[in-house]
Structure 1
């Protein structure tokens, strides 16, 4: 039992050091955004009717992909 306790301490210490090293890792941007990214002409604007029509079309496509008919009878059904 004492050997097991003495092995747990170094393992926990290594895990803590590993977590600290992972949190210190720095990354750079993969791409640079243009300066005028936040301008109004770059933002897409949709009317509420356009959004609702697109939502209905998306739901219709998702529902068409569902299997029709009874569900399989098996364990858990």
Structure 2
């Protein structure tokens, strides 16, 4: 039992050091976004009715692609 505790201690210590190093790691930005990136003219805004209509059309298209009829018989079905 003592041997197990002597192994767990260094492993936990290395894990804590690893997490601490990852938490303090800083990165540079790869590209700079324009200042007006979040303005209303750059973001498309849709009303909920438009979004629900798009979702309805997508679902109907997906359902049309499904095969009709009974599912195949056999192992795993």
Normalising by structure 2, report the TM-score. Answer: 0.70
The Cα shift of 1:20 comes to 0.8
* Number of the residue aligned with 1:4: 4
C-alpha RMSD over aligned residues: 2.4
Distance 2:2 2:48 in 1: 69
Normalising by structure 1, report the TM-score. Answer: 0.70
Structure 2, unmatched stretches of 5+, are none
Distance 2:65 2:27 in 1: 40
Secondary structure of 1:63's partner? helix
* Number of the residue aligned with 2:19: 19
Q: Deviations over 1:10-65 (max 9, x none)?
A: 11111111111111111222322111112222121334553333222111122223
User: Kindly tell me: are residues 7 and 49 of structure 1, through their superposed partners in 2, closer, same or farther at Cα, counting changes over 3 Å?
Assistant: closer
| Total equivalences in the alignment | 77
User: Kindly tell me: are residues 6 and 62 of structure 1, through their superposed partners in 2, closer, same or farther at Cα, counting changes over 3 Å?
Assistant: same
Alignment of 1:1-77 (within 5 A): 1-73=1-73
Secondary structure of 1:42's partner? coil
The Cα shift of 1:67 comes to 3.7
